[in-house]
Amino acid sequence: MLIRQGIVVTHRATARLDIRVRGETITEIAPEIAPEQDEEVVEASERLVLPGFIDSHVHFRDPGAPQKEDFFTGTLAALAGGVTTVLDMPNTQPPTDSRAHLVQKAAHVATKAVVDYGFYFGATDTNIEEAASVAGEVAAMKLYMGSSTGTLLVTEFSPIYRHFTTFPLDKPIAVHAEDEQSLKYFGGMGLQDHNQARPPLSAQIALSRAIAIAEKTGRRLHVAHTTTWRELELIQEARSKGVRVTCEVTPLHLFMTEEDQHRLRNFGKVNPPLRSRDDREALWRYFDDIDTIGTDHAPHTREEKDQPYSQAPSGMPGVQTMLPLLLNAASSGRVKLEEVVKRCVTNPIQIFGLKDKGTLEIGKDADIVLIDPNHEYVLADDQMLSKCGWTPFAGTKIKGQIQQVYLRGNLAYNQGNCLSTAGSGKAIRYSK
Ligand code: DOR
Ligand code: ZN
């Protein structure tokens, strides 16, 4: 197959190029490639051509809570959003916290996925050696320093330190950096404002601890969903001292503030919370220092969200809306599309060691997204393929529509239709 004359965007440049795909792989990229006899030609001169996005932070609820999402609906939403690889978090039921649970989860989802996928391994107080023994089969470890959805939690120094020293040092430990003791203190005050109930201070305390231990142990640390100015200052300072720390932001925190949580009430509840305008602006100001954009796609049903504030679970869906929102940010001049590709493709591949994935590179999987850059539409709940069926961004006008998505050379999504069958998504292989 030859994708001809598209406006090809990578982290390096934007250029009009031809891309040849053989089987599942990109075999040639050049300003002009002559089609071979009988070769399928896709005319893309009116299209942006992007590498398939990698969402390195999703919660697909499978196994355990299929009423919110399962691996088919989650990956379907991903595909429609131009995301061809997802890394799924371990707070499923059972949690992905042992080799047996990892094997069980892999078998359980294998027949459901329509995009490629990998898993995080969940840290507990006691699974230190077991985590290290499966490191080569997962994208990273996830360590919850503060409680959120599910039961995974590690707050004591000793297990944190032991995980940091025992898990392979070059394999990232991703931390949910909110400090449990302070969350309990503020959470116990009966506040209804989520940014006060789980304040920036809690993030600062937890992140300071994580960075100090990473510095001492020389290990790689990945900070999930940074949301505050102070965290970004801490990360910058740590890096200047040579600490190996990378960090993520979510579209939720890039595009919304605590005012949106007040408007959306429980539907805008997420851990860590939507923050102040100042904090949100800091995320954009420090954008150069941010390594990855991951959605924290965390679907909950309307019924669950409609409960009283204290009972309503935290989290919002997002895997389908990340690329559209970032296209908007690019067309409004807030960020360069190359910089988006770097954070949604190039850097996640490097950080998590995703072996066969690339940013439209020869020899790598042909995961390719074709976009009509001029088509305008408005995001709506009924477009969402996630089982939860809502988006906090309903009503947002988007410029740029995802038209076709190729997964390893196969046309998997075409103008609103999923063409591939459940099970066509494959487990990722890791280079470290
Ligand atoms: O708001 C959140 N929801 N934060 C998390 O850390 C977990 C997630 C979920 O799984 O619902
Ligand atoms: Zn999460």
Mutate to test the pocket of ligand 1, among 62, 270, 309, 387 (most ligand atoms within 8 A of CB): 270
Q: How far is the CA of 139 from the centre of ligand 2 (A)?
A: 14
Query: Closest residue (by CA) to atom 4 of ligand 1?
Result: 271
pLDDT tens digit string along 372-404? 999 999 999 999 999 999 999 999 999 999 999
Give the whole-number percent of the chain exceeding pLDDT 70. 100
The ligand placed nearest to the CA atom of residue 95 is 1
Q: How confident is the model at residue 7 (pLDDT cuts 50, 70, 90)?
A: very high
Alpha helices (H) along 124-271: 128-133, 157-166, 180-187, 194-197, 200-217, 229-240, 251-255, 258-264
The predicted pLDDT at position 8 comes to 98
Angle of the 229-240 helix axis to the 200-217 helix axis, nearest 10 = 10
pLDDT above 90: residue 341:
yes
Cα(82) to centroid(ligand 2), Å: 20
pLDDT of residue 20: 98
Q: How many Å lie between the centroid of ligand 2 and the Cα of residue 298?
A: 7
Given the residues 62, 97, 116, 296, the one annotated as active site: 296
Residue-wise pLDDT for 352-369, tens only, equals 999 999 999 999 999 999
Burial class (CB within 10 angstroms; exposed 0-12, middle 13-18, buried 19+) of 91: buried
Angle at 57 between CA 54 and CA 63, to 5 degrees: 110
Q: What is the pLDDT of residue 324?
A: 98
The domains located in the chain, with CATH, are: 2-49+362-418 (2.30.40.10), 53-352 (3.20.20.140)
Which pLDDT does position 143 carry in this prediction?
98
Q: Amino acid letter at 256?
A: M
Q: Residue 321: what pLDDT?
A: 98
Q: Ligand 1 atom closest to Cα of 176?
A: 6
> Residue 88 Cα, ligand 2 centroid: separation in angstroms?
9
When pLDDT is cut at 50, 70 and 90, the band that residue 432 belongs to is confident
Dihedral sign for Cα atoms in the order 45, 48, 54, 55: negative
116 and 109 Cβ atoms separated by less than 8 Å: no
Most informative mutation of 58, 62, 87, 149 for ligand 1 (most atoms within 8 A of CB): 149
Within 13 Å, how many C-alpha atoms sit on residue 227's CB side? 31
Closest ligand relative to 89 C-alpha: 2
CA-314 nearest atom, ligand 1 = 1
The number of the ligand nearest the C-alpha atom of 269 reads: 1
Q: Using one digit for the tens of pLDDT, what is the confidence trace for 99-114?
A: 999 999 999 999 999 9
Joined together, the tokens standing for residue 265 give 């009430």
- Model confidence pLDDT, tens digit, residues 114-153: 999 999 999 999 999 999 999 999 999 999 999 999 999 9
Counted residue by residue, the chain has a size of 432
Give the pLDDT confidence score for residue 191 in this predicted structure. 84
Which residues fall inside 5 Å of ion ligand 2, going by CB? Answer: 296
Instruction: Using the predicted structure, report yes or no on whether residue 32 has a pLDDT greater than 90.
Output: yes
User: Given the DSSP bridges, would you call strands 2-9 and 48-51 parallel, antiparallel or unpaired?
Assistant: parallel
pLDDT at 294 over 90: yes
Pocket around ligand 1 at a 6 A CB cut-off: 59, 91, 148-149, 176, 270-271, 298, 313-315
DSSP notation for 377-409 = EE--GGG--STT---TTTT-EEEEEEEEEEETT
Instruction: Look at residue 49 and give its three-state secondary structure.
Output: strand
Decide if 291 is catalytic: no
Distance 221 CA to ligand 1 centre (A): 19
Judged against a pLDDT cut of 90, whether residue 190 lies above it is answered with no
